[in-house]
Structure 1
Amino acid sequence: MSTQEKRYSLTRKLTVGMLLLVWLAGLAWAFWWFEGQYVKAFERPAYFSAQNVKPPFPPGKVQVLHVWQPGCPCNGGHEAYLQSMTERFSAQGVLFARAGSTSTEDLPSALQKLPQWPIPSEWSNWPGAPAVAIWDATGNLSYVGPYSDGAHCNSDSSFIEPVIKSLLAGRPVSIVTQDTVACLCDLK
């Protein structure tokens, strides 16, 4: 093998090595960016505490406010439950509204139909979404917090279903301050 062929071989190996190094650095940066954007949102401790504010509608019926952040990875495990729960309890006279994004783009169909309600300034430290606030028929805040303690929610794991059922049965509920671990994304 001539000297020129050896140089060419060495140059080719160095070029491939450098490209491989750049590719690995790009992968590491992409993982770091993704983790910073999305992984931090999963299963984090949160403190919910909300002052009693007026509900979205005049008192007279149980009211539920869905706090939703489109694009949140935590939403996926709640969408099917959100649809079925909203349909079931709407049939029983519960009123629903939504807060968070003002755009109906990227919202589940169950939320697109609901009136938008701005999060009150008294709740400026709301810990994240997806979450919910529930008022009793007299207009008193009964529950603030996540749908469940994980990334998925159904009738069996839901925190809010027992609250709504109790309020519909006329039993008082007061869960407006709680420490929890839930899948939440910051509100934008």
Structure 2
Amino acid sequence: MPLSPRAKYWLVSFIITLWLSLSAGAFWYYQWRWSEQFSSQEQLALFDGTEFSELLTQASVPGSISVIHLGRDGCFCNRFNEPHRQAIKDKYQPLGVAFGTLTLPPALDLATPAVALISAQGQLAYFGPYSDSLLCSLGDGLVEPLLDQLLLGYLPEVIHTTGVGCFCTKKTEL
């Protein structure tokens, strides 16, 4: 038995309302979940490279400018930092810049993700966040101008920095 136009209208309205409600609920759930985790990671982080200078220099490639990523397994903030890291690598690796990674032990209380730049002469030139933004985004990069200076032969010494963004420490791992 065919449906009347009025019944078709109500059936289509019900299906659209149900679809919109389920979509809105799913969006709200996933946004709330990510927002809750993200807001717990957002913080001011202090970076002091003097105590890690020797360790970072050992992780560098002698004779090359080196970018050392400092990370922590299980850090929620890695997902925001990865595109920025990859963009830096894509731009600077063809110019001879070496890239390395140090995975920090859980006992070490250092905000991550972080980065260290080591000059070709083995000196720590930068230690801190990739950018000074909430999501470590590409447009706010701190690393790129310093790498450009290193490639030109200058030695910036920015080893005591602060950053506001998504950082994990041993206390805030997920």
Determine if the TM-score, normalized by the shorter chain, exceeds 0.5: yes
* Displacement of 1:71: 3.4
TM-score, normalization by structure 1: 0.62
Specify the alignment match of 2:103 in structure 1.
100
Identity %: 30
Q: Distance in 2 between matches of 1:180 and 1:144?
A: 11
Q: Distance in 2 between matches of 1:64 and 1:80?
A: 15
Specify the alignment match of 1:152 in structure 2.
136
3-state SS, counterpart of residue 64 of structure 1: strand
* Displacement of 1:65: 0.6
* Displacement of 1:67: 1.1
* Displacement of 1:58: 4.5
Q: Which runs of 4+ in 1 moved over 6 A?
A: none
Which structure has more helix as a fraction of its residues? 2
Q: Distance in 2 between matches of 1:56 and 1:133?
A: 10
Q: Distance in 2 between matches of 1:61 and 1:99?
A: 17
1:133 to 110, 113, 116: 116
Quick one: which amino acid aligns to residue 138 of structure 1?
A: Q
Q: Distance in 2 between matches of 1:64 and 1:163?
A: 11
Quick one: which amino acid aligns to residue 121 of structure 2?
A: T
* Displacement of 1:163: 0.8
Equivalent residues in 2 for 1:27-176 (5 A)?
35=36, 39-42=39-42, 44-51=43-50, 52-53=53-54, 54-100=57-103, 124-126=108-110, 128-150=111-133, 151-154=135-138, 156-176=139-159
Q: Distance in 1 between matches of 2:126 and 2:136?
A: 19
Superposed CA deviations along residues 25-57 of structure 1, whole A, max 9, x for unmatched, are xxxxxx9xx95x653211x11111112313413
TM-score, normalization by structure 2: 0.66
* Displacement of 1:161: 0.6
Q: Distance in 1 between matches of 2:136 and 2:164?
A: 13
3-state SS, counterpart of residue 83 of structure 1: helix
Q: Is contact 2:109–2:169 with CA below 8 Å preserved after alignment?
A: no
Specify the alignment match of 2:16 in structure 1.
none
* Displacement of 1:76: 2.3
Q: Distance in 2 between matches of 1:58 and 1:130?
A: 20
Specify the alignment match of 2:167 in structure 1.
184
Unaligned runs of 5+ in 2: 1-31
Q: Distance in 2 between matches of 1:68 and 1:160?
A: 16
